[in-house]
Amino acid sequence: QVQLVQSGPEVKMPGASVRVSCKASGFTLTSYYVKWVRQAPGHGLEWMGWISPYSGDTYYAQKFQGRVTMTTDTSTSTASMELRSLRSDDAAVYYCATYGDDSFDIWGQGTAVTVSS
């Protein structure tokens, strides 16, 4: 079954870092880029950037540059996204999804990140 399975919910304090993982199954992760998108409660979708599991190339949206790192581990078919210096407005559901072939668009189930002291 073609799917992306994400790690579980996280609760973090302001200023901390969070790492969300995304494991691919049913397809070869290196055949597609992986994009990360987040959605704050009651808000729309926000593009964060992408990574090429094949080359390691990344592109981060300007808003997140300096605070986000996207990586992949091809041996485990897992992509990860780390966001640092968390603020209250980083509370959101974070999604990974395939990218690069618009006809092949698989999304993970989402990972809820709560930022609270």
Partner 1 sequence: QSALIQPASVSGSPGQSITISCAGTSSDVGSYNLVSWYQQHPGKAPKLIIYEGNKRPSGLSNRFSGSKSGSTASLTISGLQAEDEAHYYCCSYAGSNTRVFGGGTKLTV
Distance separating alpha carbons of residues 33 and 85, to the nearest angstrom? 26
Residues contacting residue 35 through CB under 8 Å, at least 6 positions apart: 47, 48, 49, 50, 96, 97, 98, 99
55 binds partner 1 (CB under 8 A): no
CB 94 within 8 A of CB 82: no
Q: What is the per-residue binding string for partner 1 in 63-102, x denoting contact by CB under 8 A?
A: --------------------------------x-x----x
Dihedral angle sign, alpha carbons of residues 40, 46, 48, 51: positive
Nearer CB in complex with partner 1: 8/75:
8
Q: Does 47 bind partner 1 (CB under 8 A)?
A: yes
| The one among 50, 86, 92, 115 contacting partner 1 by CB under 8 A | 50
List residues binding partner 1 (CB under 8 A): 35, 37, 44-47, 49-50, 59, 61-62, 95, 97, 102-103, 105, 107-110
